[in-house]
Amino acid sequence: MTTDVESKESQPTILSYLRDLPNVCSLIGLASTLLAIYFSLIGIYYAAMVGMIWAVAFDWADGLIARRMKGRTGNDRTFGGQLDVLIDIVSYGVTPALLLLSFGRFDFIFFVGAFIMLAASAMRLSYFSTFGLSEGSKYTGLALDNNNIILVFIFIFESVFSEAVFSVILYGSGLGIAALNVSTIKTPKLSGNPINVYILAIYTLVITGIYGWKLI
């Protein structure tokens, strides 16, 4: 008979999951997200865009690595899945919301928009955690990783408009993305296709080059 002591001794430690490469990749993505938040708060938005797109790149990469790794246990997959969900709300919910709030000079009207974006992200993730993929391996609503992919593209045109005009564009884009997140539209699981991961890698490098040039 297995005793409680033996059961506790057999339970893995939290830090033991750092030996799992997909988890390390996820945490590097979280570091990219933290940099994006930092640069958003201090107003260096071009650097924030680089952090946001690299967060997606590492998110997609960890999934690709996890699918190709052999010998991962059920606990490894469960832990990695939970870690991904927690990081997603920060990367694709909190970060875009703080970007909008910071660009809007922390005006209360931008707080409202930021809350709507964050609430939509939280509801979207909760729905997915409850029901998973729909028939045909599609998401219900726009998957959250698309939030960053779209916003970093839109922000390329920030210098074309005045700050006041672009703040309206960014606000409207954020609300539009939030509406898509909680909509009933069916969208494909792009990160599940290795080809899409490579396309994202190219997109990430292009975006990094564009904003790197703007920072010079």
Specify burial of residue 211 (Cβ count, 10 A radius: 0-12, 13-18, 19+).
buried
Average pLDDT score over residue span 173-180: 98
pLDDT reading at 167 higher than 90: yes
| Beta carbons of 128 and 169 less than 8 angstroms apart | no
| Predicted TM-score of the model (pTM) | 0.90
3-state secondary structure of 187: strand
Domain boundaries, the chain: 20-215
Residue 191's pLDDT band (boundaries 50, 70, 90)? confident
Helices (H), 89-193: 95-103, 108-131, 145-154, 163-181
In this predicted structure, what is the pLDDT of residue 23? 93
CA distances to 33, 36, 85, 134 from 79, rounded to whole Å, are 20, 25, 10, 22
Percent of the chain residues topping a pLDDT of 90: 75
Residue 9's pLDDT band (boundaries 50, 70, 90)? low
Average pLDDT score over residue span 185-195: 87
Mean pLDDT taken over the chain: 92
In this predicted structure, what is the pLDDT of residue 106? 96
Assess if CATH 3.30.1490 describes domain 20-215. no
How far is Cα 185 from Cα 180, in angstroms, rounded to an integer? 8
pLDDT per position as a tens digit, 105-164:
999 999 999 999 999 999 999 999 999 888 768 899 999 999 999 999 999 999 999 999
How far is Cα 83 from Cα 215, in angstroms, rounded to an integer? 32
In this predicted structure, what is the pLDDT of residue 117? 98
**Token output for 71:** 């010998």
Residue type at position 11? Q
pLDDT per position as a tens digit, 49-90:
999 999 999 999 988 888 888 878 888 889 988 999 999 999
pLDDT reading at 27 higher than 80: yes
pLDDT reading at 199 higher than 80: yes
